[in-house]
C-alpha cells in the first residue's frame, strides 16, 4: 500500500463543476445575495486563517494552530442549512465552523492569543471555540471524543420534541476511535437525528488514509452499512454538492429522526498544525499544488460565480479586501486586549462556585490551599 | 420514621426527581427491562416508561458521552454504571468532556449530569470489579464526587446531585445496598460538601466515607465498650467539595485522628485529609495522624482473604490504641 494518496481525478473543468449541482432543488432558488454570502463566508475563513498563521509566526499564539485552509466549503455549506434546532460540534480544526456559524473574528482571534476577550476568555485556545447561543458546541481536542457528545445533542433535540439535528464533524483519522463506533451504534439503534460528517482531507497528521483505515471500497462512510445507517460520499470541492448531500441528511433527521454518515472529500494545504515540521514530507509537492490549482473549493466557487455572472472580479476584490481588513482589525483587537487575570484561573470550573447565591453545596472547599 | 434499604432510598430519590423535573432521565445498561443489575432501578420502567428509563448497549464511552452531550442541551441524565470499575472505559468522556467543557468554554456550557453506580470491594469479584476511584475523580477539577454511607444520606445526596448544575459522580457501595436505616417520608435534600458526625466523641476523631463508615462505627463501639475511649466518627459524605471545617473542628476537640478509607493508601483521599489536618490544626495534635486503607494491591478474589485486604475495625481499634 502506498503511503501517499493520489489526488482524485476530475473530469470537468473547474468553472463548470458547480453548474450541474447549482440546478439541484436545494440550490436552484438561491438568491444572488445568498450565493454572494457563501463566497464571503469562505473568504472570511480563509483570510482569518491566513492572518492567524502570520500571528502565530510572530510568536503570539501558544500551542497548536490547526488551519482549515482548503476545507472551507464544508463548514459554510453546513452552516447555511442550520435552523433553530440544528446543532454543530467538531474537533480541534474548528475555526472555520466557528466563523461559519457567525462567531466574530475578534473573539476568535483574541482566543488564539489567550486574551480575556476571547470567546472562551482565554481558557480554550485554538482547539476550543464555543458558541452555544449559535448552536455551536465547539471544538474538541481529543480525536473522536466529540462524537458521542454530538449523539447526545441529537438525543437532546429528540428528547425535547424538537425538529432538528446534530452535525458531528470529524477527520478521517478519527473514524478508527472506539467512541465513534459506539456513537454510530447508539444513533442508529435509537433513531437519533445525528449527522456524522467525515471531513476526509486524506491525512491524519502524517498518516495517510491508506495507512490508517481498513474500509469498504466505497469509502469511509460505507462503514455505516454495518450499523444499518444511511451514508453518502460527497465531493468537497463543490459547495453545492455538499449542500445537496447534507440537506438530504438534515431532511432525514428532521422527518424520520434517522442518522446519516457523510464522507466529504477535501484537502488541507497546510501541515497538520503550524508546528507540523514534516508537512511536506508525507505528501508530494505536486499533490499539494494540484489540489490548490485544480480543486480548491474557494477558487472553484469563484470561477463558477464569475462564469454565471453572479459577481464581478471587482465585487470579489471588495469582499476580499473587507475580509482582510476584518482579520487585520481582529489581530489588532486581540493584540490590544488584556490577558485574563490570575484570579480567573479558578473561575468557570464549577457552576456553583461562580453562582454563590444559588449554590447547592454547603462547605466551601472546591479549591485547596 | 420508616426504615428502608439503601437501594430503596436511591430508587426513591430517582423516582421523586423524575416526577419533579421532566428533564431527568435514567440511562444505563440493564436499568429498564432487567430492572437494574443491582435492582436500584427496579420498577421504574413500569412507572415512568421508556422515555425516562432507558436501556443502553454495553458501550460506556458512547452512552456516557451521549449523556454529557444531552446535558449540554438541558437534559438532566442520571447515568448508571453497572460497576464503577467500568468507568475507565468512559474515562475520556468523564474527565476530558464532562470535567473540562465548562472551563474551556469560559463558563458558556454547563454539564448537569449524574453518573452513579456501585463501587468498592468486599464481594469477591476480583480486581477488575472492585475499584474505588473516588480519589482519581476528586483529583479532577470540574467534577464532584459523593460517597453516601446510609439510606438517609443516599437519598438526600442523590437528590442534591440530580439538582446540581455540575457533573456529580455518586459512588454507591455494593455491600451497602441491602443495609437499612431511617428515612423520613417528607422530602429533604442534603447539600453536597457537608460532612456528618455519625457518632459524637471526645478522645479521637475517626474520619471515613462510604463503606468505611460501618467499619469506623464498629471500631468506635469496641473502643467505647472495651477501652473506655470516646471516638468521634466523621463521615465525609462528599469527597469533593470537601467539608474541611467539620474535620478540623472535630480534631481541635479530640486532638487525635485516625483516617479510614477503602482506597489504596498511595495518593488516597486520606492523604489529602492528613495534609488538611496538619495544615489547619497542627497545634492541636497530640499524636501523629494514622491511616487504615486497603492493602496496596489489586483486589484479592479469595473470599477467605479479601476481608483481610480491606480496612478492618480491629485494625482501626489497634491504631487508635497506639496513639492514646
Ligand atoms: C485521542 C487522541 N489521540 C491522538 C491525538 C493527537 N492527534 C491530534 S490530531 C491527530 C490527527 C487526526 O486526524 P484526522 O482525524 O484525520 O483530522 P484532521 O487533522 O485531518 O482534520 C492526532 C493523532 C489526540 N488529540 N487525541
Note the pLDDT tens digit of each residue in B40-62.
999 999 999 999 999 999 999 99
Q: Which domain holds residue B269?
A: 196-322
In this prediction, residues A2-6 reach a mean pLDDT of 37
User: Band of the pLDDT at B111, cuts 50, 70, 90?
Assistant: very high
List the CATH number of the domain containing A116: 3.40.50.970
Given a cut of 90, is residue A133 above it in pLDDT? yes
- pLDDT given at position A365: 61
Q: How many CB atoms lie within 10 A of CB B322?
A: 11
Asked whether residue B46 falls in the same domain as residue B152, the answer is yes
* Residue of A91, A139, A143 to test ligand 1 pocket, by largest number of atoms within 8 Å of CB: A143
Q: Is residue B189 part of a domain?
A: no
Do residues B42 and B99 share a domain?
A: yes
**Cβ neighbours of residue A20 closer than 8 Å, sequence gap 6 or more:** none
A352 falls within a domain: no
User: By the 8 A CB rule, do B202 and B230 touch?
Assistant: yes
Q: Is residue A126 part of a domain?
A: yes
In a domain, B191, yes or no: no
Nearest CA to ligand 1 atom 25: A142
B128 contact A CB<8A: no
State the Cα–Cα distance between residues B264 and B268, nearest whole angstrom: 6
How far apart (Å, rounded) are the C-alpha atoms in residues A141 and A127?
Answer: 6
Tell whether B172 and B235 lie within a shared domain.
no
ipTM score for this prediction: 0.92
pLDDT at A363: 57
Q: Does B159 lie in the same domain as B53?
A: yes
Between CA B158 and CA B111 the distance in angstroms is 16
> Same structural domain for residues B165 and B227?
no
Q: Does one domain contain both B133 and B60?
A: yes
Q: Is B58 on the interface with A (CB under 8 A)?
A: no
Q: What is the DSSP string of A263-305?
A: EEE---SS-SSTT-TTTTTSS-HHHHHHIIIII-HHHHHHHHH
pLDDT tens for A161-203 read 999 999 999 999 999 999 999 999 999 999 999 999 999 999 9
Give the end of a domain, one of B157, B182, B207: B182
Lowest mean pLDDT among A31-35, A97-101, A341-345, B8-12: A341-345
> Is the same domain home to B62 and B145?
yes
Domain boundary among B154, B182, B210: B182
Nearest to A77, CA basis, from A118, A30, A115: A30
Q: What is the pLDDT of residue A352?
A: 85
Give the DSSP per-residue string, B170-205: EEEEGGGTT-EEE--SS---PPBT--EEEE--SSEE
| Residue numbers of the domain that contains A268 | 14-341
What is the per-residue pLDDT for A342? 93
Residues B247 and B314 in one domain: yes
Task: Tell whether A77 lies on the interface with B, counting CB pairs under 8 A.
Answer: no
Note whether residue A122 is domain-resident: yes
**Do residues A366 and A353 make contact, with C-beta atoms less than 8 angstroms apart?**
yes
CATH number at residue B43: 3.40.50.970
Q: Is residue B188 part of a domain?
A: no
Per residue in B279-288, pLDDT tens?
A: 999 999 999 9
Of B123, B156, B182, the residue at which a domain comes to its end is B182
B64 contacts in chain A (CB < 8 Å): 148
CB distance A361–B192 less than 8 Å? yes
Between the alpha carbon of residue A262 and those of residues A148, A221, A231, B324, the distances in Å are 16, 6, 5, 70
Which pLDDT does position A3 carry in this prediction? Answer: 36
User: Where residue A355 falls among pLDDT bands split at 50, 70, 90?
Assistant: confident
Distances (CA, A) of A125 to A46, A111, B104: 19, 5, 8
Residue B76 forms part of a structural domain: yes
A280-284, A287-291, B218-222, B300-304 — which one is most confidently predicted on average? B218-222
Contact A164, A151 (CB under 8 A): no
State residue B99's pLDDT score: 97
Quick check: is B209 catalytic?
Answer: no
> Is there a single domain that holds both residue B219 and residue B143?
no
pLDDT band at A211 (very low <50, low <70, confident <90, very high): very high
Give domain status of residue B187, yes or no: no
Q: Which long-range contacts (CB under 8 A, 24 or more apart) does A336-345 make?
A: A337/A110, A337/A113, A337/A115, A337/A116, A337/A117, A337/A118, A338/A115, A338/A116, A338/A117, A339/A114, A339/A115, A339/A116, A339/A122, A340/A114, A340/A115, A340/A116, A340/A121, A340/A122, A340/A123, A341/A116, A344/A116, A344/A121, A344/A122, A344/A123
Judge whether B190 lies within some domain: no
Residue A351 lies in a domain: no
Report the pLDDT value the prediction gives residue A356, as an integer from 0 to 100: 81
- Is residue A21 included in any domain, yes or no? yes
Paired sense of beta strands B168-173 and B144-146, if any: parallel
pLDDT surpasses 60 at A123: yes
CB spacing of B62 vs A362 below 8 angstroms: no
A142–B69 C-beta distance less than 8 A: no
Whether A91 contacts A143, CB under 8 Å: yes
Counting the structural domains of chain B, the total is 2
Residue A329 predicted with pLDDT over 90: yes
Domain count within chain A: 1
Indicate if B204 and B318 belong to the same structural domain. yes
Q: Which is catalytic among the residues B17, B29, B60, B172? A: B60
CA nearest ligand 1 atom 17, residue? A171
Residue A274 lies in a domain: yes
pLDDT at A277 over 90: no
Shared-domain flag, residues B159 and B253 = no
The dihedrals phi and psi of B200, each to the nearest 5 degrees, come to: -80, 150
> Is B118 a member of any domain?
yes
Q: Is A249 on the interface with B (CB under 8 A)?
A: no
Residue B93 DSSP code: I
Nearest to A362 among B25, B191, B240 (CB): B191
Q: Is pLDDT of A6 > 70?
A: no
Q: How confident is the model at residue A369 (pLDDT cuts 50, 70, 90)?
A: low
User: For chain A, what percent of residues have pLDDT higher than 70?
Assistant: 94
**Mean pLDDT along residues B101-130:** 96
Confidence tier at B23 by pLDDT (50, 70, 90): very high
The mean pLDDT of chain B is 97
Q: Are A326 and A44 in contact (CB under 8 A)?
A: yes
Q: Indicate whether B254 and B290 sit together in one domain.
A: yes
Judged by CB atoms closer than 8 Å, whether chains meet at B242 and A360 is answered as: no
Residue B189 predicted with pLDDT over 70: yes
Of A142-156, A242-256, A274-288, the least confident:
A274-288
Q: What is the CATH number of the domain that holds B250?
A: 3.40.50.920
Q: How far is A293 from chain B (nearest CA, A)?
A: 37
Calculate how far, in angstroms, residue A213's C-alpha sits from the geometric centre of ligand 1: 14
- Ramachandran assignment for B75, one of left (phi > 0), alpha (psi -120 to 50 degrees), beta (any other): beta
Asked if residue A260 is part of any domain, the answer here is yes
Amino acid at each position: 500500500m502506498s503511503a501517499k494518496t493520489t489526488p482524485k481525478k476530475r473530469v470537468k473543468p473547474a468553472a463548470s463543476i458547480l453548474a450541474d449541482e447549482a440546478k439541484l432543488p436545494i440550490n436552484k432558488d438561491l438568491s444572488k445575495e445568498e450565493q454572494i454570502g457563501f463566497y464571503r463566508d469562505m473568504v472570511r475563513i480563509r483570510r482569518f486563517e491566513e492572518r492567524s498563521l502570520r500571528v502565530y509566526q510572530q510568536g503570539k499564539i501558544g500551542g497548536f494552530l490547526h488551519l482549515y485552509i482548503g476545507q472551507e466549503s464544508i463548514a459554510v455549506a453546513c452552516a447555511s442549512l442550520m435552523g433553530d434546532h440544528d446543532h454543530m460540534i467538531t474537533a480541534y480544526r474548528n475555526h472555520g465552523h466557528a466563523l461559519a456559524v457567525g462567531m466574530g473574528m475578534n473573539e476568535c482571534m483574541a482566543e488564539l492569543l489567550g486574551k480575556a476577550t476571547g470567546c472562551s476568555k482565554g481558557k480554550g485556545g485554538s482547539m476550543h471555540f464555543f458558541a452555544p447561543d449559535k448552536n455551536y458546541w465547539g471544538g474538541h481536542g481529543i480525536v473522536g471524543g466529540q462524537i458521542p457528545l454530538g449523539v447526545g445533542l441529537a438525543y437532546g433535540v429528540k428528547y425535547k420534541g424538537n425538529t432538528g439535528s446534530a452535525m458531528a464533524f470529524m477527520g478521517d483519522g478519527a473514524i478508527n476511535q472506539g467512541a465513534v463506533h459506539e456513537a454510530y451504534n447508539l444513533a442508529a439503534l435509537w433513531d437519533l437525528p445525528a449527522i456524522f460528517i467525515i471531513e476526509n482531507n486524506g491525512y491524519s497528521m502524517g498518516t495517510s488514509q491508506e495507512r490508517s483505515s481498513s474500509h469498504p471500497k466505497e469509502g469511509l462512510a460505507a462503514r455505516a452499512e454495518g450499523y444499518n445507517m444511511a451514508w453518502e460520499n460527497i465531493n468537497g470541492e463543490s459547495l453545492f454538492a455538499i449542500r445537496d448531500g447534507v440537506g438530504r441528511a438534515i431532511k432525514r433527521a428532521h422527518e424520520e429522526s434517522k442518522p446519516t454518515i457523510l464522507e466529504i472529500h477535501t484537502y488541507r494545504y497546510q501541515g497538520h498544525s503550524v508546528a507540523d515540521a514534516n508537512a511536506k514530507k508525507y505528501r508530494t509537492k505536486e499533490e499539494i499544488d494540484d489540489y490548490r490549482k485544480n480543486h480548491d473549493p474557494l477558487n472553484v466557487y469563484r470561477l463558477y460565480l464569475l462564469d454565471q455572472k453572479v459577481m464581478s472580479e471587482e465585487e470579489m476584490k471588495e469582499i476580499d479586501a473587507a475580509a482582510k481588513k476584518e482579520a487585520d482589525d481582529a489581530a489588532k483587537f486581540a493584540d490590544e486586549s488584556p490577558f485574563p487575570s490570575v484570579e480567573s484561573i479558578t473561575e468557570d470550573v464549577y457552576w456553583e462556585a461562580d453562582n454563590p447565591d444559588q449554590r447547592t453545596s454547603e462547605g466551601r472547599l472546591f479549591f485547596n490551599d | 420514621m420508616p426504615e428502608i434499604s439503601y437501594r430503596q432510598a436511591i430508587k426513591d430519590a430517582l423516582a421523586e426527581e423524575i416526577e419533579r423535573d421532566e428533564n431527568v432521565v435514567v440511562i444505563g445498561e440493564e436499568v429498564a427491562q432487567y430492572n437494574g443489575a443491582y435492582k436500584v432501578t427496579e420498577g421504574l420502567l413500569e412507572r415512568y416508561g421508556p422515555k425516562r428509563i432507558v436501556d443502553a448497549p454495553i458501550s460506556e464511552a458512547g452512552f456516557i458521552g451521549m449523556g454529557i452531550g444531552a446535558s449540554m442541551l438541558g437534559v438532566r441524565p442520571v447515568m448508571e454504571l453497572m460497576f464503577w470499575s467500568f468507568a475507565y472505559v468512559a474515562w475520556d468522556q468523564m474527565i476530558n468532556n464532562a470535567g473540562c467543557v465548562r472551563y474551556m468554554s469560559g463558563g458558556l456550557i454547563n454539564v448537569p449530569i449524574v453518573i452513579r453506580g456501585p463501587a468498592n470491594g468486599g464481594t469477591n469479584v476480583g480486581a477488575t470489579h472492585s475499584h474505588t476511584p473516588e480519589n482519581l475523580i476528586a483529583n479532577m477539577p470540574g467534577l464532584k464526587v459523593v460517597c453516601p454511607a446510609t439510606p438517609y444520606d443516599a437519598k438526600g445526596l442523590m437528590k442534591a446531585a440530580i439538582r446540581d448544575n455540575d457533573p456529580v459522580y455518586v459512588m454507591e457501595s455494593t455491600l451497602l445496598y441491602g443495609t437499612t436505616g431511617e428515612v423520613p417520608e417528607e422530602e429533604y435534600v442534603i447539600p453536597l460538601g457537608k460532612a456528618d458526625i455519625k457518632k459524637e466523641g471526645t478522645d479521637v476523631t475517626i474520619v471515613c466515607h462510604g463503606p468505611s463508615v460501618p467499619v469506623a462505627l464498629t471500631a468506635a463501639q469496641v473502643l467505647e465498650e472495651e477501652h473506655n475511649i470516646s471516638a468521634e466518627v466523621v463521615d465525609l459524605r462528599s469527597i469533593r467539595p470537601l467539608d474541611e471545617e467539620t474535620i478540623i473542628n472535630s480534631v481541635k476537640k479530640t486532638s487525635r485522628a485516625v483516617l479510614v478509607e477503602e482506597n489504596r493508601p498511595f495518593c488516597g483521599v486520606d492523604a489529602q485529609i492528613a495534609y488538611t489536618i496538619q495544615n489547619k490544626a497542627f497545634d492541636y495534635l497530640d499524636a501523629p495522624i494514622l491511616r487504615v486503607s486497603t492493602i496496596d494491591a489489586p483486589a484479592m478474589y479469595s473470599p477467605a482473604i479479601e476481608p483481610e485486604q480491606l480496612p478492618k475495625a480491629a485494625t482501626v481499634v489497634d491504631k487508635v490504641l497506639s496513639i492514646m
